[in-house]
Amino acid sequence: MNDEQQLPGFRELGLNEPILEALAAVGYETPSPIQAQTIPLLLSGSDLLGQAQTGTGKTAAFALPILARIDLARASPQALVLVPTRELAIQVAEAFQRYAAHLKGFHVLPIYGGQSYVPQLKGLKRGVHVIVGTPGRVMDHMKRGMLKLDTIRFIVLDEGDEMLQMGFVDPIEWILQQAPQERQIALFSATLPPAIRRIAHAHMREPAQITIQNRASTTPKIRQRYWLVSGVHKLDALTRVLEAERFDAMLVFVRTKLETAELAERLEARGFNVAALHGDIPQQQRERTITRLKAGQIDIVVATDVAARGLDVERISHVVNYDIPYDSETYVHRIGRTGRAGRNGEAILFVAPRERNMLRIIERATRTTIAQMQLPSVTDVNEQRILKFKETLANAVRSGEGKVFQPLIEDVEREQNLPAIELAAALAALLQGQTPFLLTSKAGAPHAASSPDGLREEQGGEWGARAGDTEPMSEPPAHRGSAKRPGLETYRIEVGHIHGVQPGNIVGAIANEAGLDGRNIGHIDIRQDHSFVDLPEGMPEEIFNSLQQVRVRGVPLSISRVDSKPARSERHPRSHGSPRAPKRKGAGPRQGHSTKRHGKPSHR
C-alpha cells in the first residue's frame, strides 16, 4: 500500500476538471504507475516510448492527456490511435467516451475491418475528434480520400509488438509518413523488438522512455471464479452467492459512489447486515464502519476502489467484483483484500457477456485461469439456510436470552396441553414471517452455460422462473380499458408523483427483483400517489410476493392487480378503476395528469 500512497492524484497530474469529474464517476481517484509517469510527459508535448503490458491502465495513460488537449470547437480528427484488433479498437473507443463524459460535443470513432464502410464514412463526414482504428482499415480510408491526417496532432501506437506480429509494420510506416511533421507520438509495446525501435527512431523525436514492470500477480491462496451475468440479474446472482457461500465477511466492489448506497440498501432489504463505503464518507464514519466489520457487527461492505484502499481486515474471506474493473491492476488490488495473514480467500467476478474481453485481459495479465463458477443451486441455498438457522438458534440458547420467556412457554405448554417442540416450531414460524424459509425446487437451478443473463430458468416465458418465495398467486387481474401490448396485464403499485418516482425507477426495481428483461415491461402510468404498470401475463407467485416489499424511492411497491384491493388500502381508499389526484386551487385542466411511458424502458 505504500506505493499507492506515494502516487500523486489525478488532479496533481494536471488534468482539467471535466476529466476529473468523469474519472470520479468511474471510480478512478489514484492513478496507476504507468498513468502517473505517462500523463505529465504527454501533457508536456513529449514523444513517448512506453514498455507496458496490457491491463496496466495504459489506455487511460494516453487517452486522458489527449482529451485534456483536444480542441472541441474543431470537428476534425486531432488524434489517431492505432490498435491491432477490432476488439481493442472498440474497447479503446469506449474508454475515450467514458473519460469524455463531461466534454460536451466530443466524438470518437472506431474504424476497423469486418464492418461495413458506410457507418464509418458517415462518422467521418459528421466530424470526429479522435479516431481509433486498425492500421489496414485506416490506410484504406486514407487511400480512398475519406480520411486526411493534416489536422492530426497526436498519434498513439498501442500494442506495438502485436501489430508487428500481425504484419502491420508497412501500413504503420505508410500512415506515419502521411502524418504532419508537427505531431506528438506515443508508442506502447509489451516488448521492444528491433522493428519497434526502428519505428521509434525514424518517426519520434527524442522520446522519453518508461518501463512499467507488470506487478499484476495474484496469490495462489485466493481461489478466483467468475460468473457470466447481465446487469439486471446481478442482484439476484449476488443474493444467491450470499445465501450459499460460507463466508466470514465479504467486500463487494462497485464502480460508483451512488451504486454503493443503492446496492447496500437493496441487500439490507433482503435481510443482510451490510454497510456502504465510498470516498465521500467522512473519515470518522469510515473508521466506525471498519471497526464494526472487524468486530463482526456487519458482514458485508459495498465499496468503491478508492474507499477500499488501505483496508486490511483479516476476517474478509470473500471479495466480489460486482462491477468488473477496467484494468488488471485494479482487479489485483481488489482481490488482495482477502487471503490476509496466510489465510485462504475467495474472489468472485461478475462478467457481462460484452465484458468477456476484459476477463481475458485480466487472465493474461495475472497469468491465471479464472474458472467459471456454477451459481449455487436451490439445494445449496436451502442447506445453508438450515445450517444458519441451527447456528442462530444454538447461539441464542447459549446466550441465555430466552430464559425470561421460559416460564411463559411452560405455562402455555401446561395450559394448552401443547408439546414444547410444537411451541418452538410455531415461534420459529412467527419469527420467519411471511417470507418462506426454504426455496422450492420448482424454481429450478440457474444454468451458466446456456443462459447469458445467468438467472433465467428452464420454465421459460418472459418471466422465466426465479428462486424466491412460493406463496399462492392472487386471482388473475382484470384488464384496464386502455390499449396495451398483447400478453400484458395491468398492476397497481403504491408509488407516484408525491414520492418523486420516475419511470426508470419503476423499471429498474421490477427488472432487478423479478429477473425480467426491461423490454418486457410495458406502459407505465404515474399518478399522484400510485402508478399503473403493464407486465407480462402469468406472473409467478414467488415474483408477485417478492415484489410486495421492493422499494422505490424508499417506498414499498405493494403491488396489486387492478381488480383487487391495494396492499395499503387504508392509506389509499380510492378505487383502482379511475384514480384521481386531489385537485388543487388554480391547477387548471392539467391537474392530475399522468406521466406516461411507452416502448423501450430506460433503466436506472
Residue 27 in contact with residue 305, Cβ under 8 Å? yes
Query: For residue 380, what is the enclosing H or E element?
Result: helix 378-399
Measured distance CA(523)–CA(599) in Å, rounded: 7
Per CATH, the number for 488-597 is 3.30.70.330
pLDDT at 590 over 50: no
Residue 186 in contact with residue 47, Cβ under 8 Å? yes
pLDDT at 596 over 70: no
Percent of the chain with pLDDT over 70: 78
Instruction: Enter the DSSP assignment of 57.
Output: S
pLDDT digits (tens, 9 = 90+) for 320-358: 999 998 778 788 888 988 887 678 899 999 998 888 888
Residue count of the chain: 604
Mean pLDDT across 36-64:
89
Q: What is the mean pLDDT of the chain?
A: 78
Burial class (CB in 10 A: 0-12, 13-18, 19+), 313: middle
Per CATH, the number for 222-376 is 3.40.50.300
Query: Is CATH 3.30.470.10 correct for 2-211?
Result: no
One fold for 222-376 and 488-597: no
Highest mean pLDDT among 65-74, 113-122, 262-271: 65-74
Q: How confident is the model at residue 55 (pLDDT cuts 50, 70, 90)?
A: low
Angstrom CA distances, 192 to 35, 63, 502, stand at: 20, 22, 54
pLDDT digits (tens, 9 = 90+) for 508-562: 788 777 766 667 788 888 887 889 998 888 888 878 887 887 888 778 888 988 8
Residue type present at position 371: A
User: What's residue 302's pLDDT?
Assistant: 95
Mean pLDDT across 137-164:
93
Closest by Cα among 46, 138, 143 to 83:
138
Q: How confident is the model at residue 575 (pLDDT cuts 50, 70, 90)?
A: very low
Measured distance CA(382)–CA(388) in Å, rounded: 10
pLDDT at 226 over 90: yes
Q: Which DSSP string do the residues of 292-352 spell out, in sequence order?
A: HHHHTS--EEEE-HHHHTT---TTEEEEEESS--SSHHHHHHHHTTSSGGG--EEEEEEE-
Highest mean pLDDT among 93-97, 150-154, 427-431, 591-595: 150-154
Closest by Cα among 512, 510, 480 to 594:
480
Residue 316 in contact with residue 250, Cβ under 8 Å? yes
Closest by Cα among 410, 66, 468, 90 to 271:
468
Domains of the chain, residue spans: 2-211, 222-376, 379-432, 488-597
Grid coordinates given for 428 = 420459529
